[in-house]
Amino acid sequence: MRPFAIHVIDDEELVRDSIATAFADAYRIETFPSAEPALAAMQASLPDLVLLDIGLPGMDGLQALEEIYQRHPGLRVVMITAFEEIDTVVRAMKLGAYDYVVKPLQMAGLEATVRNALESVRLQQEVRTLQQQFLQAHIPYFIAQSDVIQDVMTFVGRVAQSPDTPILIQGDTGTGKELVASTIHYQSPNFRGPFVTVNCATIPRDLLESEMFGYEKGAFSGAGAGKRGLVEMAAGGTLFLDEVGDLSLQAQAKLLRFLEQGEYYHVGGVRLQTLQTRVISATNQDLDAMIKKGEFRKDLYFRLGVVEVKIPSLNARPDDILPLARHFMVEFGGKFAKSITGFSSAAEKALLSHDWTGNVRELKNVIERGVLTAAGPTLTPADLGLEASPEPLESCTLGFPPIPPDGLDLTSLTRSVEKHYIEAAMKMADGNESRAAGLLGLNHHTFRYRRKKILSGDS
């Protein structure tokens, strides 16, 4: 294991040399007389710990601390101050400093502070390693080749760091909302706790409240014994409420109380229950419209959606279609013990031009069917149950005019033909760029670039 790296930022050469000498055998030490060169060095190689003097020339220690946390959130920083100026120290701690030490430095005390800070770094690294192991063991690989879904997953990685902030995931049916919810759970501080899913649409409304919050013995006819609710089962972990728009107004009221205060009652109970869990909810419904109709509580909507994650439809990220299709092909090839080697070019074009109203779930079902029924090693449009895309231009029988005696402008002619078929594809696709790109055998980014170029009149 490599030794921890420490950056020492102090304008006093004696302080820098003293720390470097004291820690040289145990850590990799770099020293800086001011904040500016230290910040530049961090861009190239990030240390594990920073010892930062408050009274620096130029950018002072508090300004440097703010800059460090804007660029490198989570980096451990211990402040060094020449005197115990409480207001300054308090400001530094509020900005996120791990601890502080006072000049003149007592090396024994400084060593203990550094050791504690680096121990917390080591534990954090262990947690990250465990989280990656959990992710690999519990979550299928999330295909994120397109820019739009990569942006979503980057945002998800950031919001996952809070252990209890409610998150609302919005997206069409089949876009992978539960997969995103489980990704948030396993990247969060709660990843060792349970991940409990409640499909609010499949539990009868008259049973939903008792299933979620549990009930006491004799609470209703047939309740011969008490039962823990799903909320209680998710203690210390994550409660995922899928199709949250299907909650009754009564259940919504109890959920709101739980979100705001961490408190609830068992059905038929009088003893107040408290626990901590993160609530992630998901819906494909228009909650704004439901609020206007009085079907969903506005205050609950705002509480559930402290952070909102919007999952784009598959049609909005066509660059993911073929990678997803290949992923499912391998998955079902193994499941059915079939040696499927790939897709025909016609099948790939059919996949790209299809209107995926059922999103990733529909694509997965199409590939499962294709792998199961395919006779050969290569999947065709017929295997997938999709219509083949029109043949490319060069395969069509066209009446090309002869070259006139004085020649022709091939560049202009090529541009006219490209413009014609781009406009025709957009018309066939009802203005949907993703589908139009598929009709022409192009990915979305290439199609958008060429369309923009043609419309602008660039050669």
Q: Per-residue pLDDT tens, the chain, 459 aa: give them.
A: 678 999 999 999 999 999 999 999 999 999 999 999 999 999 989 999 999 999 899 999 999 999 999 888 889 999 998 776 778 888 888 888 999 999 889 999 999 999 999 998 888 787 777 767 766 665 555 676 788 888 888 898 889 888 889 999 999 999 989 989 988 998 888 888 899 999 988 888 778 788 888 888 887 877 778 888 899 999 999 999 999 998 888 889 888 988 888 888 888 888 888 888 999 999 999 999 999 999 999 999 999 999 999 999 999 888 899 999 999 999 899 999 998 999 999 999 999 989 999 999 999 999 999 999 998 899 999 999 997 655 544 444 455 667 777 777 777 778 888 888 888 888 888 788 878 888 887 877 778 878 888 777 665
Q: Which pLDDT score, from 0 to 100, does residue 134 have?
A: 66
CA–CA separation, 54 vs 52, rounded Å? Answer: 6
* Alpha-helix residue ranges (DSSP H) falling in 188-286: 205-213, 230-233, 249-261
Q: Residue 220: CA atoms inside 13 Å, Cβ hemisphere, count?
A: 10
CA–CA separation, 154 vs 136, rounded Å? Answer: 17
Three-state SS string across 178-247, please? HHHHHHHHHCCCCCCCCEEEEECCCCCHHHHHHHHHCECCCCCCCCCCCECCHHHHCCCCEEEEECHHHC
CA–CA separation, 124 vs 189, rounded Å? Answer: 10
Instruction: Quickly name the fold that domain 407-456 has.
Output: Arc Repressor Mutant, subunit A (1.10.10)
Strands (DSSP E) along 340-395, which ranges?
342-343, 378-379
Say yes or no: domain 315-384 is CATH 1.10.8.60.
yes
Q: How many helices (H) and strands (E) does the chain have?
A: 19, 14
Q: What is the CATH number of domain 147-312?
A: 3.40.50.300
Looking up tokens 């205050």 gives: 299
Spans of all domains in the chain = 5-128, 147-312, 315-384, 407-456
Strands (DSSP E) along 176-233, which ranges?
195-199
CA–CA separation, 435 vs 447, rounded Å? Answer: 10
Helix/strand/coil for 364 = helix
CA–CA separation, 411 vs 418, rounded Å? Answer: 11
pTM value is 0.61
CB 304 within 8 A of CB 244: yes
Helix/strand/coil for 76 = strand
Instruction: Quickly name the fold that domain 5-128 has.
Output: Rossmann fold (3.40.50)
Q: Which pLDDT score, from 0 to 100, does residue 401 have?
A: 66
* Domain 5-128 and domain 407-456 have a common topology: no
129 Cβ contact partners less than 8 Å away, ≥ 6 residues apart: none
Looking up tokens 């308090």 gives: 90
Q: Which pLDDT score, from 0 to 100, does residue 395 have?
A: 43
Q: Which pLDDT score, from 0 to 100, does residue 393 have?
A: 47
Looking up tokens 């550094």 gives: 114
CB 208 within 8 A of CB 199: no
